Structure 1
Amino acid sequence: MNETVTDMADLPMQHPGAPASAAQARARFFNSGNAFNVKLPEVPARLFSPPPEGQFGVFDCDQSEALGSVFAATTPLMLARYVRIAPGDMPLPLDVRATGAVWYVISGSGRLDGAFDGFEFGAGDVFLLPGATGYSLAGGPEGALLWSVGNEPQLAFERAEPAPVVDASIDVVHYPAAEIERQFATIFSTGTREETSGRALIFSSDRQAAARNLTPTLTLSFNTLSPGTWQRSHRHNSAAVTLVVQGEGCHSVVGDAHRPWEPWATLVTPPGAPHSHHNQGAHGARFLIVQDGGLHYHARTMGFAFLEAAR
């Protein structure tokens, strides 16, 4: 008579047999057949639009329901959002519950204040904020529309808090629009190699320059596409959150999905998804990309690869 043997993978989670303390009773055990088959929802490739004119406040690009997350998240480790401030309005209180958050000023102007010397900002500026409470954003005469990405979900996942500003791994950094244009002019005065992934401006700071990151876990690049060109299909293990800054007749292909660009839209590229960007318009295109790339560079898991040959 053949005796049926239970497959190891079918064993349920195991508890300790005779725990002698509360600490021992908390132990749980799996095995090599059932410990690595956790199925998580995929990151959706989605396009978010900015809030309509006349709507003010904070607007998260939230995919938490699709991700099965109990906290707001655009990707498992990043949260993108739009913030619209009314002209002459009371300053908007802002807490950055992240290691750091990058901000891009889409339109208008204003002033940022907080746990450091404040500064004025205008359209086209980029700035970086370390995690802290007590920031405030005030709109200028025309108000302001801003876009931001931070690693709030990464900290929320571990129920962690940002380090105090004096102990933070980054400082406040302001990249004015005029300086960004000066840097672009330098880039466009040079040539490129076949293996170079287009012409892009990579943002960093004095404290993160060795890693060439924006924060220990986030990277920021300002990519460009000349008319009639495309960034050939590629993949990487980091997720990407992209802001369309300018580009008519442009689209992205993410997996099998064709994603036409919309003004100031946010495009989510899932980790590992094949994707490419195309400019079929008559003018140059620009798009700002935040990735959790610093995390993957540190872990040696970026896995960047082109999926088609250069033409």
Structure 2
Amino acid sequence: MINNDMAEMPVQLPRTPANAAEARGRYFNSGNAFNLKLPPVPPRILRDEPARAMAKDATGWVLCDLSNELECPFPATTPLMLARYATVLTGETLDVTLNCTASIWYVIDGAAQIVIGDETATLGKGDVFLLPGGVGARIAASESAVFWAVGNDPQLAFEKAQPVTGAEAEAATSFVHYPAQEITYQLDTVYQRDANDNTSGHALIFSAEQTVDSRNIAPTLTLSLNTLKPNSFQPPHKHNSAALTLAVAGDPAYSMVDELKCDWSPWATLLTPPAAKHSHHNDGDTRAEFLIVQDGGLYYHARTMGFEFY
């Protein structure tokens, strides 16, 4: 007996393909094409990874890889972003050439020099920098250094794509260095101003010359350094982008993601799933700071960010 429900139909193959191009075709229907079940992005606070990096046992990477849970065939923390820690011991060098459009970096500890293409920069604790993907880059540490980085590697891996490199007019991003001293000045300038009811707290938003019109740091990525005043909280809210958050300062502080309480620990990575209700809380007597990377550029461009407070 034939089941007449089209949702139960398997994928349909071409009947009599005349050539290889026709034979590659596959056909679904409106009943079975949109019921694909993918694992949800899990709320998570990642503490083991920073502990391994901060141990400074060897030069190398510590990936925040949840690809098994996400059923991704490539390393990923969210479907479109990969967070990682990097350790570079004194006198050693790490190749940081990545297959992504851009990666966002924060210097957790130590001192180093980076060489990318024909540019160099001296890096210190608290610095932020933006690396274009596909461009040869290496970090040499003068004092054992630890970094946190987020790139859109999974986005390119999903499409089997390569970053465009070359002149600034062609590449999506360039190397940008945000020194800690300048970040402190800019953040303090923001922190001294009043926030109205439509403002999401006191946060410093990072952008670059090439992406200033979109106010993003890279075409698909956004970066902000958020703050919470002592004994305060950011009200529950949501947005359609996923968020990867580095706990920079806050004692004690925590986040609520749906009903999961995520206690911060130094340099932990918080994963907030897309559209998840979440809030951030500072129960301490000092200012809390947290660095947030989102795949927000995609959603801003598509006009689907969906930010709202509860």
Same fold (TM over 0.5): yes
Q: Is residue 160 of structure 1 aligned with residue 155 of structure 2?
A: no
Query: Which residues in structure 2 correspond to 1:55-74 (within 5 Å)?
Result: 55-56=57-58, 57-74=60-77
Matches of 2:157 and 2:199, distance apart in 1:
35
- Partner residue, 2:136: 134
**1:89-140 Cα shifts (integer Å, max 9, x gaps):** 2x11221210000100011110000213111010000000101242110112
Q: How many Å apart are 1:165 and its aligned residue? A: 3.3
Change (3 A) 1:5 1:123: closer
Q: Which amino acid aligns with 1:197?
A: S
Matches of 1:138 and 1:169, distance apart in 2:
26
Q: How many Å apart are 1:54 and its aligned residue? A: 2.9
Whether the aligned pair in 2 keeps the contact of 1:132 and 1:165 (CA below 8 Å) is: no
Q: How many Å apart are 1:4 and its aligned residue? A: 7.2
- Partner residue, 1:276: 279
Q: In structure 2, the residue corresponding to 1:95 is in which secondary structure? A: coil
Q: Is residue 30 of structure 1 aligned with residue 28 of structure 2?
A: yes
Q: Return the match for 1:205 from 187, 205, 208.
A: 208
Aligned length: 303
Q: In structure 1, the residue corresponding to 2:298 is in which secondary structure? A: helix
Q: Could you state the TM-score of these two structures normalised by the residue count of structure 1?
A: 0.95
Structure 1 residue runs of 4 or more that deviate by more than 3 Å after TM superposition: none
Structure 1 unaligned blocks of 5 or more: none
The Cα RMSD (Å) is 1.2
Q: Return the match for 2:8 from 7, 10, 27.
A: 10
Q: Return the match for 1:242 from 239, 242, 245.
A: 245
Matches of 1:55 and 1:274, distance apart in 2:
38
Whether the aligned pair in 2 keeps the contact of 1:247 and 1:261 (CA below 8 Å) is: yes
Q: Could you state the TM-score of these two structures normalised by the residue count of structure 2?
A: 0.95
Q: Which amino acid aligns with 2:262?
A: R
Q: Return the match for 1:304 from 286, 304, 307.
A: 307
- Partner residue, 2:125: 123
Q: Which amino acid aligns with 1:54?
A: K
Matches of 2:223 and 2:23, distance apart in 1:
45
Q: Return the match for 1:294 from 269, 292, 297.
A: 297
- Partner residue, 1:224: 227
Matches of 1:207 and 1:73, distance apart in 2:
26
Q: Which amino acid aligns with 1:112?
A: I
Whether the aligned pair in 2 keeps the contact of 1:198 and 1:225 (CA below 8 Å) is: yes
- Partner residue, 1:107: 109
Q: How many Å apart are 1:55 and its aligned residue? A: 2.4
Q: Which amino acid aligns with 2:122?
A: E
Matches of 1:75 and 1:85, distance apart in 2:
25
- Partner residue, 1:82: 85
Change (3 A) 1:38 1:205: same
- Partner residue, 1:151: 152
Q: Which amino acid aligns with 1:146?
A: F
Matches of 1:133 and 1:178, distance apart in 2:
27
Q: Which amino acid aligns with 1:221?
A: S
Q: Which amino acid aligns with 1:177?
A: A
**1:218-262 Cα shifts (integer Å, max 9, x gaps):** 000000000111010001110000000000010000011000000
Q: How many Å apart are 1:84 and its aligned residue? A: 0.8
Q: How many Å apart are 1:22 and its aligned residue? A: 1.2
Whether the aligned pair in 1 keeps the contact of 2:134 and 2:162 (CA below 8 Å) is: no
Whether the aligned pair in 2 keeps the contact of 1:130 and 1:165 (CA below 8 Å) is: no
Q: How many Å apart are 1:17 and its aligned residue? A: 1.6
Matches of 1:93 and 1:168, distance apart in 2:
20
Whether the aligned pair in 1 keeps the contact of 2:135 and 2:165 (CA below 8 Å) is: no
Q: In structure 2, the residue corresponding to 1:165 is in which secondary structure? A: coil
Q: How many Å apart are 1:202 and its aligned residue? A: 0.2
- Partner residue, 1:96: 98
Q: How many Å apart are 1:169 and its aligned residue? A: 1.4
Q: Which amino acid aligns with 1:120?
A: T
Whether the aligned pair in 2 keeps the contact of 1:220 and 1:290 (CA below 8 Å) is: yes
Q: How many Å apart are 1:5 and its aligned residue? A: 5.8
